[in-house]
Structures are given as structure tokens and as C-alpha cells.
Amino acid sequence: MMRSATNWLTSALLFLAAAVGVLSLLLLVTGHPPAPALAALVRGSVGSGYALSTTVVRAIPLALSGLAVALAFRAGLLNIGAEGQLLMGACAATAMGGVIATLMGGSTGSDLAGGSRVVALLLILIASALAGAAWAGIAAVLRRRFGVLEVISTIMLNFIALSITGWLVRGPLQEPARINPQSASLPQGLQLPVLLPGTRIHAGVLLAVGLALALWWWLRDRASGFRLRAVGGNPFAAASAGQIAVARTTLMAFLLSGALAGVAGGVELTGVTFALYENFSPGYGYTAIAVALLARLSPVGVLGTALLFGALEAGASAMQRDAMVPSVVVSVVEASLILLVVAADRWRSRGAAEAGV
Amino acid sequence: MTVDQAQAFTDATTLALTGITHRFGSVVALDDVSLTVRAGTVHALLGENGAGKSTLMRVAFGMLTPQTGTIAVRGTAQRMTSPATALSLGIGMVHQHFTLVPGMTVAENVALGGHGRFDPLAAAAKVRAVGATAGLTLDPQAVVQTLPIGAQQRCEIVKALAREVSVLILDEPTAVLAPQEAAELLQWMRRFADAGHAVVLITHKLRDALAIADDVTVLRRGRVVYTGAAAATTQDQLRIAMVGNAGADVVAETVGAELVGAESGGATSVRDTSVNEPTVHEPAVLALHQVSVRDARGAVRLREVSLSVARGELVGIAAVEGSGQHELLRLLAGRLAPTTGRVTRPEQVGFVPEDRHRDALLLDAPLDENVALRGAGARRGRMPWRMLRAATAAILSARDVRASGPGAPARSLSGGNQQKLVLGRELADRPAAVIVENPSRGLDFQATAAVHAALREARDAGAAVVLYSSDLDEVLQLADRVVVLFDGRLVASGNDREAVGRAMLGAT
């Protein structure tokens, strides 16, 4: 136990060093002096209380959608569609929020307090979970009925979800004034409460931590969680030796994964943006794949890697603002990190296989 | 190479491995091993699992580069860096697990790995020509996955021969074959060698080795412990060489009992299998009533089969590959539903499938999770990990599974230890019925003996046991009653080797 913790720390530090190395190299190549750029990155991510809160706020949707990806991958499902599921979750949350606001009779919702606020927010998040699950369910049905690989279908469904979002914010969900392609802002009573006054850290952080712990416990300790891992490990042995209903387990994993990604969309909407617009997600669902892989699909690890990526993205904005470095270089760093993890895993498993012969 | 040229080589060394040492991490897999293969001969390479046979041949075939040692082909030292190098030097290998593309035709598979343009007609002609020269019949247009296992193996051999190899390495080639097919393959090897080529036969079967080989080499723990002419070697010598003197007593007892069918008289009572005991009138634990099975493509795999197995009875199934035994066993184990007919079976059935990597184990998961896999489909609520770990530890010690502990990944175990774990898991809750399929495939003497003892023990404790093995001797030796399956029907029962062998091939 001790040893694995130190190992984990060592590898985390190595990855961090690698990230800094790759970034410095990129900065040099693109003709930006690395020192001020890196300083801006640090300032923007962890340099102040405000920077730290930005990092945490950025990490919340990454953590939730990272959990979605980790769960699917654990079950052997390559769900690349967290982005689309997240968007559908945000759409459903917007619609549900609109319905509730209408029912409240146009009040701003500031009078909506205590129990009824909790119920309203729960309804919104449940709607986003169901929408995400339904979107993932399409891929599940396509795979079950027609043998369509989920890698393909979930990617395609991402584009469809993006188009649907674009249509909704110009049509049924557009703000009453019908000027901008976006939805009406949620009234304050339908926004997630801010935890630390003066920052933007909202209650979604508790949800992310709670769901990560719940998922970790469920996968480890519950029979149904073990079945999901067994199916992911070897579906043939799960069916034959474990007499596990593989198709049902796979469907459940699809739906749960989609629900988690949908919740990420709902939380981002009720906690940060308060309104839906076309570029609602800056690719959270794609970064989530990196978050999950870097965490080696461990739910608790996802919290850590989501923070790392949150810091990178928060820092990237500062770097762009203060050092005129395009923030896409951070995307390159993120991609390099994934490649590093994959290479390190292969290298390690090859070493293990050779030693085991 | 023509026969005349070949004749000139008859006594020449065609492949010489000298002083080969190879380590995997800290494990010494091969320790100063030398092996000389002469042209015109069959060289049998024997040894237990993990003795280093396959590693040595992977070195010879360029798949592994040894830390020290030299390889000489026809007298010239060579740097063997890849299988492509080996093939260009005339060394071919047929692996235990075939390396064919299932959806492609025989001709396409044979052409695979070649260079330049693919000409289907030329490829087909090549298969026919090589097949005719070598005496291996094969339809070049047949899609590999539709072929029986014996034909797939011929395809592997033709694939190697098409590259004009003069040394052919075969890794456990008869393990997957029915007796008749195995005998034909052994005869083919003899003819191939007589034509001036050389064969290296990796095998566990002493009888095969002595019957066909000219030279025999035995490896134990990565060292050569015996090498000599087959004609001057006895089975006992080989057996002792393979397991060492320390294990000689144990082996003489258990293996002797198996091979000769004698009573061991030990703690576990071994029944004299030469007598077909009259079936005791116990209630049937397992029964098939007029069961038929169609596969997903609509082909009939089993036709109105009826069979009943009583408490404390070990029924053996004899059949050639693809006769419906796969479906029969899975019906009895509750892993397959009948298309028509009725199956009677107890709630708990122990099932040991032949492909343990695919169907029995989570290779990357620790052993306790592999033990937890049994019954996972019906489990509710929490996983009792503390209890499961204790149960795993109990299986490890009761079944003599060599592993570092319940937390070791299943992948880190040798094949024999994996099988002992699977068997231990399936027998742990003393199921009323046990179904096993090729339970000793790829295992060494001691692991095989342990598996056989466990099956007899379960039978003696009152379980209804059904065994299928592609090794007919194993079926005859273990079973109280042997039934023969041919083309999806139960065609005979009995324990006369000749009669069973004929029935397996559909002869009456």
C-alpha cells in the first residue's frame, strides 16, 4: 500500500515534470520566452486564491465527465461520447430549468429557498442525467442491435448533439428577446449555491467528490460493480465462469456513463454558465478522456487529474492574456500527457509480461 | 531442395544452437543450452511446462535474441534477429496457437507475409503444388474459420513450407488433434524428415516422441538434462529426466498409475479403469432428454441426444473435434440453452472450459477476484472480499497453486497453476456436478496428475463428473463409462480403445 502510494506520487511528479518540459519546448519553438509564459501559467492556475478557485471551477465538469469515461472504460466500453452526453445533459437542464421558472410564475426565484430550491435543482440534475443516459443509450442500442462500434457511434453522436444544441438555442430554448443564440439565464434560485463567498466555487464540487467516492466504493465493494469490472476485464470469462449477463451489464455501464456525463452538463449549466449557448462546452467531454486515462481509470484518481487539467486550462487563459501565448499549446501538452501515459503503461506491462514468462 | 541434394546432408547438422542463455528479468529461462538438429531427422524436444522448450524454439525462430550463445544454420553462424531472418534461412515454425487470419482463405493466408503483388490464382496454385509435394491435402479457396482444426494446422504447415523451409519446428502439434489426425501428422513428419528435411517436435507425449523421433532432448528448468538417440531411450528414462530424481517416486506412482492403469493404492482410491463398472442405480444428477442444438448460423450441432450421469459417476466423452462435444458440455454446465429438448442439472455446476484464458480467467485481475468470479452473476449486495481472500488462500494451499498470494495477477501464473486455480475454484463449493473440457491440455505430468486426482476425488465424493478430452487415452483412463459422440449424435458407448476410436470417426 505504502509502496504503491509512493510509486503513484513519483509517477505523478514525473508526469508533471514532463508536462512542463513539453510546454517549455513548445514555447521555445513558437518563439515565446518560456519563463514569463510559465509564470503566467502558474499565476493563472495556483498563483492566488482567485486563480485556485478558477482551477477548481474548471475541474468540476472535467471530473464529472472524467468519471463517466472511466466508468465506461472499466466496463470495456470505449465511450468517446462524453461531450455529446454532456451537451444533451445541459440541454435537458436548460429545458427543465425553463419549465420550473415558468411554473414559479416569473418570479426571479430569489424567494425560492431551502427545501424547494433543493428539489428544483435535483429535478434539473435528474433531467440532465436522464438525457445523458438516453444519448448514450442510442449508442448502446446501435451496438446491441446492429453491431455498430461504440467508438464510431459515440463520436458521431457528439456532432449530432452539438447541432441539436445549436438549433435549440436558436429555436425552442432561445431567450425571450430572441436576439442572441442562447437560452435565458437561470433565475438565481435555480443556480447551484456558491460554497465560498467571493469565489465561483459552487456546490458541484461536492457532487463531483461525492460521486467519485461512491463510484470507487461501488466498483470495489458491490457485486454489481464487480460484475462491471469483470465484463470489462474479459467478457467471455465473465459470461462463462461468472455466469454474468454481459449484455445487461454493458447496457447498464453505457447508461450510467451517459448519466454521469449528462450531470456534468447540468452542473456546468446550473453552477457556472447559467445559460445554454452553442459553444457551451470547450471540449470537456474530450478532455475527460485524458483525465480518465491519466488517472488510470481510478475514480478517486480522476479528481486529481481533473484538478491538474483544470489548472492547465485556467493557466492557459492567463498565459494567453498576459504572455500572448495561444492557449492551444496547452491542448498539445494535454495530448502529449496522454501519449506519455499510454507509452508508460505499455512499457510497464511489457516488463511485467517478460518477467512473468 | 531436391531429394538428391538432401541426401548429401543426411548426417550434416542443419541447425545448431550452442551455449544459449536467456533471462527474463531475474528468471533464467535458458541456461547454457545446446541443441543439434541433423538433416533427415525428427528431433523431439521434451520437458515440463516452463522447462524452456518454447523459449528455446523462439530463440531458434528469431523471436527472442538470447543474451549469450550462437546459432548456426548449415554450419554458418547466423544472427537470428527476427522470424523473417529465420524463414529466409529455411527455418519455419508452427505455433501451438495458430497464427492464421480466420476470415481469409487458405491461399490468402499462405500468401500473407510475402512481397509484391497478390495474385489469387498463383497463390492457389502454390498451395496445391506445395500440398501435393508434401502430401497435405488442402482446398486453397476454403475460408480458414470454416475448416476443422486439423485442416487449419495443415494450412499452418503449408504456409511454412511455401517459404521453402528445411527445418520445421512444431510446438505441441498433436495437442489439438484427434488420435487419427495425430497419427497421420506424425507419419507426415517422418516422411518430411526422410526427404532430407528436419523436424523439431515439441511435445509432452513420450510415446509420440519415442515412436517417431530419431533424437530426443529433454529440458528441465532451462537446462539440457538428457539428449540421445530415441532408439536407445526408454519412456522411464525420459520421465525421470523430465521431472528429476526427487520427483521420481511421486511421478512413478501417479503417472505410472495413469499410463498403465494400475492401482496406486494411495490415500485417494484410484479405480481400476480397465473394468467397465456396471452403472449403479443412483438418481441421475445430470440428464439430457432428446436435446438438439442449432448454432447461431442454423447448423445443427447436436441431434436428439439423451444422456444421464449418476451421482458418483465419471462419464468420459470421446469425439473428434467439432462433433458437438463443445455444445454438449455447455448444455450440462448451464452455459447454453437447448434448441429443443430438456436438460436436468443441479443448481451448482463446476465448469472447467478448455480455453482458460478466454473463458475462465480475468488475466489482469488478482487471484481473489478470479475466485470471486464464480457465482458473480447471481451475487447480491456487497462483495465479501475478506472471506474471498481467505477462500483464495485456501485454494492456493489445497491445490498447490504456486503464486505469491491471493493478490497476484492471474497472468503471472504458469499455465498449470492457472488450471489448478480454476479447478480449485470450480470444486471449492463441492458442486453436485462437474464438467471439464480438455482439463490437462498443455499441462506437465505433475499438474496433469493433480488435475486427474482432483477429478477422481470429486467423483468419489459423490459428484457427477463429465470429462471430454481430445486425448482418447485420458478419457479411457479416467472414465467409468465412455460415450462416443459423432456428428452431433451419441453413437456408442464402451471402453474398448479400438471400437471407440472407430466410432469417433463414424465407422461402425
Give the CA distances from residue A209 to residues A133, A215, B367, in Å, rounded to whole numbers and listed in that order. Answer: 20, 10, 30
Tell me how far the alpha carbon of residue B58 is from its chain's centroid.
18
CB A69 within 8 A of CB A212: no
Which whole number is the average pLDDT over B267-278?
37
Res B284: pLDDT: 86
Where do we find the cell 494450412? B155
CB B71 within 8 A of CB B59: yes
Instruction: Look up residue B142 and give its DSSP letter.
Output: S
pLDDT digits (tens, 9 = 90+) for B30-89: 999 999 999 999 999 988 766 888 889 999 999 988 999 999 998 888 888 899 899 999
Q: Of the segments A58-67, A141-150, B245-254, B333-342, which one has the largest average pLDDT value?
A: A58-67
Provide the phi-psi class of A291: left if phi over 0, else alpha when psi is between -120 and 50, else beta.
alpha
Closest CA to B411 of B370, B445, B450, B443: B370
| Residue B255's pLDDT band (cuts 50, 70, 90) | very low
Phi and psi, residue B290, nearest 5°: 50, 50
| Residue A136, helix vs strand vs coil | helix
Percent of chain A with pLDDT over 90: 61
- Cα Rg, chain B, nearest whole Å: 24
CB B493 within 8 A of CB B307: no
Res B49: pLDDT: 65
Grid coordinates in use for A265? Answer: 452538463
Pick among B22, B30, B327, B362 to test the A interface (most A CBs inside 10 A) = B362
d(CA A52, CA A47): 7
For residue A234, give the nearest of B363, B375, B379 by CB distance. Answer: B363
The amino acid that residue A4 corresponds to is S
Taking an 8 Å cut-off on Cβ atoms, the answer to whether A243 and B335 are in contact is: yes
Res A106: pLDDT: 56
Res B113: pLDDT: 74
ipTM above 0.85?
yes
Grid coordinates in use for B385? Answer: 472480499
Q: Is the pLDDT of residue B274 over 60?
A: no
Res B281: pLDDT: 52
Strand duo B481-486 + B314-318: pairing:
parallel
Taking an 8 Å cut-off on Cβ atoms, the answer to whether B377 and A241 are in contact is: no
Chain B environment of A240 (Cβ under 8 Å): 335, 351, 353, 359-360
How far is it between the farthest Cα atoms of chain A? 71
> Exposure of A289 by Cβ count < 10 A (0-12 exposed, 13-18 middle, 19+ buried)?
buried
d(CA A132, CA A141): 14
Which strand (E) or helix (H) includes residue A37? helix A34-46
Which whole number is the average pLDDT over B383-395?
96
**DSSP per-residue letters across A247-263:** HHHHHHHHHHHHHHHHH
For residue A354, give the nearest of B25, B380, B385 by CB distance. Answer: B25
Res B471: pLDDT: 81
Name the residue of chain A whose CA is nearest to B376's CA: A242
Grid coordinates in use for A156? Answer: 458521431
d(CA A23, CA A42): 13
Phi and psi, residue A272, nearest 5°: -125, -60
Taking an 8 Å cut-off on Cβ atoms, the answer to whether B361 and A223 are in contact is: no
d(CA B350, CA B436): 8
The count of residues in chain A is 357
> Exposure of A152 by Cβ count < 10 A (0-12 exposed, 13-18 middle, 19+ buried)?
middle
How far is it between the farthest Cα atoms of chain B? 74
Strand order in the sheet with B481-486: B349-352, B433-437, B464-468, B314-318, B481-486, B489-493
pLDDT digits (tens, 9 = 90+) for B441-464: 878 888 899 999 999 999 999 999
Name the residue of chain A whose CA is nearest to B356's CA: A237
Res B9: pLDDT: 43
| Residue B148's pLDDT band (cuts 50, 70, 90) | confident
Closest CA to B95 of B207, B8, B171: B171
Strand duo B198-203 + B42-47: pairing:
parallel
Closest CA to B446 of B309, B253, B295, B291: B253
| Residue B483, helix vs strand vs coil | strand
Where do we find the cell 472407430? B502
Res B446: pLDDT: 85
Pick among A234, A246, A296 to test the B interface (most B CBs inside 10 A) = A234
Pick among A3, A217, A218, A226 to test the B interface (most B CBs inside 10 A) = A226
Taking an 8 Å cut-off on Cβ atoms, the answer to whether A237 and B360 are in contact is: yes
The amino acid that residue A103 corresponds to is L
Among A326-330, B8-12, B177-181, name the one with the lowest average pLDDT.
Answer: B8-12
Q: Is the pLDDT of residue B272 over 90?
A: no
pTM of the full structure? 0.74
Taking an 8 Å cut-off on Cβ atoms, the answer to whether B376 and A243 are in contact is: yes
Res B2: pLDDT: 46
Res B247: pLDDT: 39
Res B380: pLDDT: 93
> By the CB < 8 Å criterion, does B374 face chain A?
yes
Closest CA to B149 of B317, B320, B352: B320
d(CA B217, CA B45): 5
The amino acid that residue B331 corresponds to is L
Strand duo B314-318 + B464-468: pairing:
parallel
d(CA A80, CA A292): 11
Res B259: pLDDT: 35
Taking an 8 Å cut-off on Cβ atoms, the answer to whether B376 and A227 are in contact is: yes
Res B34: pLDDT: 93
- The per-residue pLDDT of chain B, averaged, comes to 84
CB B166 within 8 A of CB B37: no
Strand duo B223-229 + B284-294: pairing:
unpaired
Size of interface A-B (CB pairs under 8 A): 93
Taking an 8 Å cut-off on Cβ atoms, the answer to whether B360 and A226 are in contact is: no
C-alpha torsion sign, points A264, A268, A269, A270: positive
The amino acid that residue A29 corresponds to is V
| Residue B116's pLDDT band (cuts 50, 70, 90) | confident
Q: What is the 3-state secondary structure (H, E, C) of B106-138?
A: HHHHHHCCCCCCCCHHHHHHHHHHHHHHHCCCC
Which whole number is the average pLDDT over B192-199?
92
d(CA B433, CA B118): 53
CB B218 within 8 A of CB B227: yes
d(CA A175, CA A275): 9
> By the CB < 8 Å criterion, does B361 face chain A?
yes
CB B329 within 8 A of CB A240: no
Low-confidence ranges of chain A (pLDDT < 50): 1-2, 352-357
Taking an 8 Å cut-off on Cβ atoms, the answer to whether A356 and B385 are in contact is: no
Res B137: pLDDT: 83
Grid coordinates in use for B151? Answer: 485442416
Grid coordinates in use for B49? Answer: 511446462
Taking an 8 Å cut-off on Cβ atoms, the answer to whether A237 and B358 are in contact is: yes
CB B385 within 8 A of CB B368: yes
The count of residues in chain B is 508
Which whole number is the average pLDDT over B135-154?
85
Neighbour-count burial for B284-318, b at 16+ CB within 10 Å, e otherwise: bbbbbeebbbeeeeeeebbeebebbbbbbbbbbbb
Which whole number is the average pLDDT over B192-203?
92
Res B299: pLDDT: 76
Which whole number is the average pLDDT over B141-169?
88
